Chains A and B, each alone.
Chain A
Amino acid sequence: MAQMTMIQAITDALRVEMKNDPNVLVFGEDVGVNGGVFRATEGLQAEFGEQRVFDTPLAESGIGGLAIGLGLQGFRPVPEIQFFGFLFEIMDSVAGQATRLRHRSGGTMNAPITFRSPFGGGVHTPEMHADSLEGLMAQTPGLKVVIPSTPKDAKGLLIASIRDNDPVVYLEHMKLYRSFREEVPEGDYTIELGKADVKREGKDVSVFAYGAMVHASLKAAEELEKEGVSVEVVDLRTIHPLDIDAIVKSVEKTGRAVVVQEAQKQAGIAANIVAEINDRCILSLEAPVVRVAAADTVFPFSEAETVWLPNHKDVVEGIQKVLNF
Chain B
Amino acid sequence: MTNKQTVSELMDHMLQVGNSVETLQILNEEGEIVNEAAMPELTDEQLKELMTRMVWTRVLDQRSISLNRQGRLGFYAPTAGQEASQLASHFALENEDFILPGYRDVPQLIWHGLPLYKAFLWSRGHFVGSQYPEGLNAMMPQIIIGAQIVQTAGVALGLKLRGKNAVALTYTGDGGASQGDFYEGMNFAGAYNAPAIFIVQNNRYAISTPVSKQSKARTIAQKAVAVGIAGIQVDGMDPLAVYAATSEARKRALNGDGPTLIETLTFRYGPHTMAGDDPTRYRTKETENEWEAKDPIVRFRKFLEKKGLWTEEEETKVIEEAKEAIKEAIKLADQTPKQKVTDLIENTFETKTFNLEEQAAIYNEKESK
Chain A: residues with CB nearer than 8 A to chain B? 25, 51, 56-57, 59, 61-62, 64-75, 92-93, 96-97, 102-110, 141-142, 164-166, 194, 241-245
Contact = CB atoms under 8 A, between A and B. Distances in A.
Given A102-B349, A104-B127, A106-B127, 18 more contacts: A25-B161, A61-B184, A62-B181, A62-B184, A65-B147, A65-B152, A65-B181, A65-B184, A66-B154, A72-B154, A74-B162, A75-B161, A92-B181, A93-B150, A97-B144, A97-B151, A109-B132, A141-B348
Nearest to A56: B188
A66 B348 contact: no
B190 to A, nearest CB: 9
B346 A65 contact: no
Nearest to B127: A106
B2 interface: no
Contacts of A164: 350
Contacts of A97: 144, 147, 151
B158 A61 contact: no
B298 interface: no
Contacts of A65: 147, 149-154, 181, 184-185, 188
B46 interface: no
Contacts of B55: none
B330 interface: no
Interface string B2-29: 0000000000000000000000000000
Given A65-B185, A105-B132, A244-B354, A51 B150 contact: no
A25 B156 CA distance: 15
14 contacts: A56-B188, A59-B188, A61-B181, A65-B147, A65-B188, A66-B157, A70-B155, A103-B127, A103-B348, A105-B132, A106-B128, A106-B131, A107-B346, A141-B348
Nearest to A142: B348
Contacts of B127: 103-104, 106-107
Nearest to A105: B130
B355 A241 contact: yes
Given A61-B150, A61-B184, A107 B347 contact: yes
B4 to A, nearest CB: 34
Contacts of A110: 350
A26 B354 CA distance: 30
Nearest to A62: B184
Interface string B131-151: 110000001100010010111
Contact of B349 (A56, A166, A242): A166
A70 B189 CA distance: 12
Interface of B: 98, 127-132, 139-140, 144, 147, 149-159, 161-162, 168, 180-181, 184-185, 187-188, 191, 344, 346-350, 353-356
A103 B339 CA distance: 13
Nearest to A90: B150
Task: Select the residue from A74, A106, A166, A241 with max chain B CB neighbours within 10 A.
Answer: A106
A74 B188 CA distance: 19
B184 A70 contact: no
B348 A72 contact: no
A62 B140 contact: no
Contacts of A66: 150, 153-154, 157, 188
Contacts of A56: 188, 191
A105 B139 CA distance: 9
A62 B159 contact: no
B152 A165 contact: no
Closest 10 CB pairs of A and B: A69-B154, A65-B150, A73-B158, A62-B184, A241-B353, A106-B127, A106-B131, A69-B155, A66-B154, A107-B347
A102 B347 contact: yes
B158 A70 contact: yes
A96 to B, nearest CB: 6
A57 B188 contact: yes
Contact of A51 (B129, B155, B161): B161
A151 to B, nearest CB: 26
A223 to B, nearest CB: 33
Task: Select the residue from B98, B127, B168 with max chain A CB neighbours within 10 A.
Answer: B127
A96 B70 CA distance: 31
